[in-house]
Homo-oligomer: A and B are copies of this chain.
């Protein structure tokens, strides 16, 4: 089966899992519950839970706790998009061809739906404790989830990005751009794969290797995004190209040039695959998933 088809099958499986965790739309707070579900159902490939699950399988994990954490990481990714789209942030009315949450429910409800999703992520993850109060891996997974989502993870990257945007291009350096990519994009991917490893009982050394793989994948994924904004076509991407240049946005490509960027993606991807192969075990799908993410054409 082609990797795109395999991904599509797993996306559907994860969507079914997510539906089991989404709240019922009832009670006096019905509207914010609708806004939460609308945001989650707006779609996406569910790459973060997919990476978590695959890493968990690689280490032959068995606990059901991974399902609660798969839902939690997608809820956190979703809240970050809802808040990113707000008028005071990127001010986007559409995402993937659908109205953004605040565009449908209003700005106040957009803020609260994001807050509710973030809280609900932790609430969902904490159901794992109820089932397995004596599994210390769950506490560890919780710590990783909170750390990689917060100010030393994703939010820290968003904040540095907002500030760099306000300050103008002049202040952007390779070091700062690296920081932003590593935290804004990379941190949740690191959380996804590392939590999969932790819950499956991987050794400390294996957890560290997985975190390195995820970091390389995250960086390559983001640089490929920059490349596609220059080399892609609107037809294939389904969104306008050249938007970075139009918005005077400093990217890896504008800083280093297209050839260096392509070389960097190649280097990161080879290093990630090499580390993965070093772990042994059944890595076939994970290898192809990583190759796809990094070398995708849209």
Write the residues of chain A forming the contact surface with B, with a CB cutoff of 8 angstroms: 23, 27-29, 31-33, 36, 79, 83, 86-89, 106-112, 114-116, 118-120, 122-123, 126-127, 129-130, 133-134, 136, 138-140, 142-143, 145-147, 149-153, 155-160, 162-163, 166, 176, 179-180, 183
**Identical chains in the assembly:** 2
Contact B89 A108 (CB under 8 A): yes
- Give the CA-CA distance A139 to B141 in the complex, in Å: 12
Contact A129 B142 (CB under 8 A): yes
Name the CB-closest residue of B to A138.
B139
8 additional A-B residue pairs with CB within 8 Å, beyond A112-B159, A115-B118, A123-B146? A29-B155, A29-B159, A88-B88, A106-B166, A114-B115, A126-B146, A129-B142, A134-B136
In the complex, chain B residues whose CB is within 8 Å of the CB of A176: 28
Contact B159 A142 (CB under 8 A): no
Contact B83 A162 (CB under 8 A): no
Contact B32 A156 (CB under 8 A): yes
Known: A83-B111, A136-B134. A163 touches B31 (CB 8 A): yes
Contact B133 A136 (CB under 8 A): yes
Known: A111-B89, A134-B136, A176-B28. A126 touches B143 (CB 8 A): yes
Name the CB-closest residue of B to A119.
B150
Contact B116 A155 (CB under 8 A): yes
